[in-house]
């Protein structure tokens, strides 16, 4: 039981020491090179969220390229708001359901789903439809509403966010699947892959008051990076983000972007909502940190139309 081991270790060795110690253990698991995929990115258009994922993931060789038998998987959607799926403020529940199903079919030991919500978490989990979708597919839905679920880690590559309290599931799971929804965002202009990771940490106020864009880029350097990023662009909020005021704020785009490269995924996502990546300060900042590739024109992108 790795999760419990982690907990006991952290308690036993003291907070800071414990975190560093267990990080050492994770590096072995996470440092392993990602399986060679034929494509840097897969972009799917024209289907339902679940069907698009089926196509997209099989183009990447199936989920078994990322999830091994017996591994613990954590799926991190955006469940930030007490809004229904039509509002497009949260990740599409159908997509989450299908991802969980793939993981379980691949023999994952445990599949967890959580988000540090902004609205009341019980209502957000419920009204987003994600709680039911994930549970039906066999995942465990985990709260993230109290500080005790978070453990302090150091982020050596950071310029400002050198320390953060990160949800234990992110630290303890073998596989981390990041499933943001693409949205307009009032303060950062766009939210997708890297911005979604803000829901992994406890103190978001610090980010807001200490150069939000730099903190987003800083956190992206943290060693527990997503194994896979799946951007839900089925319904996309084009204005009044990140929560929207009405259904008319979003448009049905019926698209999905899948990549192991967070920066490349965000760069592609920016163009989907007709923005240049340079306009979104955290994208160039993350590029400077070497998070991934901003030059997506040089990447092998497999585009699927359904």
Partner 1 sequence: MNSPALRKVRIVLAVVVFIIITLSFVDFRHIIPDKWFNIILFFQFVPSILEFINLPVLASSGFIFVLGLTLITGRSYCSVLCPLGIYQDIMSRAGGRFKKKFRRYRYGKPYTVLRHVILAITLIVMLAGSVFLISLLDPYSIFGRSATYLLQPVVIFINNLIAAVLAFFDSYTIFKVDYIKIPFVVFIIPVLLLGLVSYLSFTRGRLYCNTVCPLGTFLGLISRISFLRIRIDSENCTHCGLCAVNCKASCIDFKNEHVDLSRCVTCFNCLTACRDDAISYGLVKISQGKAETEPDQDKRGFITGILALFAFIPRILRAQDVPVPTKESTVPENRTSPVCPPGGVSIEHFTKYCTACSLCVSACPNRVIIPSIMEYGIAGIMQPRMDYHKGFCNYECIRCVEVCPSGALLPLALEAKKLTQIGKVNFIKENCIVETERTDCGACSENCPTKAVQMVPYIGNLVIPEINNEICVGCGACEYACPTKPYKAIFVDGNPFHQGAKKPEEKELKVQELEEFPF
Write out the residues near partner 1 by the rule CB under 8 A.
1, 3-4, 7, 43, 45, 82, 110, 118-120, 122-123, 127, 140-143, 145-146, 148-149, 185-189, 204-206, 208-214, 238-240, 242-243, 245-246, 248-251, 253, 255, 267-268, 271-272, 274, 279, 281, 296-297, 301, 303
When the beta carbons of 11 and 17 are compared against partner 1, the nearer one is 11
Up-side HSE of residue 285: CA atoms within 13 Å toward CB?
22
When the beta carbons of 20 and 281 are compared against partner 1, the nearer one is 281
Beta bridge partners of 303: 43
Q: Which whole-number Å values give the CA distances from 5 to 2, 13, 143, 171, in the listed order?
A: 5, 12, 20, 12
When the beta carbons of 12 and 35 are compared against partner 1, the nearer one is 12
Q: No. of H helices and E strands in the chain?
A: 12, 12
Rounded Cα distance, 184 and 204, in Å: 19
229: helix, coil or strand? strand
Nearest distance in Å: CB 33, partner 1? 26
Nearest distance in Å: CB 93, partner 1? 17
When the beta carbons of 57 and 169 are compared against partner 1, the nearer one is 169
Nearest distance in Å: CB 188, partner 1? 7
Nearest distance in Å: CB 176, partner 1? 18
Nearest distance in Å: CB 31, partner 1? 26
Rounded Cα distance, 106 and 100, in Å: 10
Beta bridge partners of 166: 151, 201
When the beta carbons of 30 and 206 are compared against partner 1, the nearer one is 206
When the beta carbons of 10 and 214 are compared against partner 1, the nearer one is 214
Backbone angles phi, psi at 37, to 5 degrees: -105, 155
Going by C-alpha positions, the residue among 180, 176, 177 that lies closest to residue 256 is 180
Nearest distance in Å: CB 65, partner 1? 23
Going by C-alpha positions, the residue among 166, 171, 193, 168 that lies closest to residue 182 is 193
């Amino acid at each position: 039981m790795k999760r419990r081991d982690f907990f006991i270790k952290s308690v036993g060795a003291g907070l800071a020491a414990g975190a560093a110690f267990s990080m050492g253990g994770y590096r072995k698991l996470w440092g392993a090179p990602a399986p060679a995929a034929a494509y840097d990115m897969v972009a799917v258009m024209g289907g339902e969220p679940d069907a698009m994922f089926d196509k997209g993931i099989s183009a990447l060789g199936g989920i078994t390229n990322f999830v091994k038998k017996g591994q613990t998987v954590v799926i991190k959607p955006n469940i930030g708001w007490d809004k229904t799926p039509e509002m497009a403020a949260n990740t599409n529940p159908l997509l989450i359901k299908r991802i969980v199903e793939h993981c379980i079919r691949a023999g994952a030991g445990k599949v967890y789903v959580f988000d540090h919500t902004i609205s009341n978490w019980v209502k957000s989990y419920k009204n987003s439809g994600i709680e039911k979708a994930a549970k039906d597919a066999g995942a465990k839905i985990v709260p993230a509403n109290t500080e005790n679920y978070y453990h302090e880690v150091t982020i050596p590559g950071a310029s400002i966010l050198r320390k953060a309290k990160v949800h234990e599931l992110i630290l303890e799971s073998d596989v981390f699947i990041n499933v943001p929804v693409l949205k307009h965002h009032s303060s950062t202009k766009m939210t997708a892959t890297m911005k979604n990771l803000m829901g992994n940490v406890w103190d978001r106020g610090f980010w807001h008051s200490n150069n939000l864009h730099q903190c987003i880029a800083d956190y992206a350097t943290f060693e527990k990076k997503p194994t896979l990023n799946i951007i839900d662009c089925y319904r996309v909020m084009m204005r009044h983000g990140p929560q929207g005021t009405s259904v008319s704020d979003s448009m049905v785009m019926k698209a999905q972007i899948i990549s192991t490269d967070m920066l490349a995924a965000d760069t592609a996502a920016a163009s989907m909502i007709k923005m240049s990546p340079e306009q979104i300060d955290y994208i160039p900042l993350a590029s400077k940190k070497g998070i991934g590739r901003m030059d997506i024109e040089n990447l092998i992108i497999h585009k699927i139309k359904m």
